[in-house]
Amino acid sequence: MKAAELRDLPVDELSRKAAELRENVFNLRIRHAAGTLDSSADLGKQRRDLARVLRILNQKTKAEGKQPSPPAEKKG
């Protein structure tokens, strides 16, 4: 995922993508701790993607002058 592609996305889509990446990083960390992770490089890649999304989200919200909406919580 490239930064140029992310800059074209609206703020709400970036928020959803950040929530999805947070969940992926969490799951990869659990699998890494359990020893079932196939490639530890996947964890680093997901973390970098999350940081990239959060940076662009922060830039967009500052440019718009409003606070980012918190990620939607799962119900159930």
Which pTM was predicted?
0.79
CB 23 within 8 A of CB 69: no
The pair of structure tokens assigned to 75 is 């119900």
Structural domains of the chain sorted by starting position, each given as residue range(s) with its CATH number in brackets: 3-62 (1.10.287)
Answer whether 35's CB lies under 8 Å from 45's CB. no
Please provide the average confidence, as pLDDT, over all residues in the chain: 89
* pLDDT tens per residue, range 22-42: 999 999 999 999 999 999 999
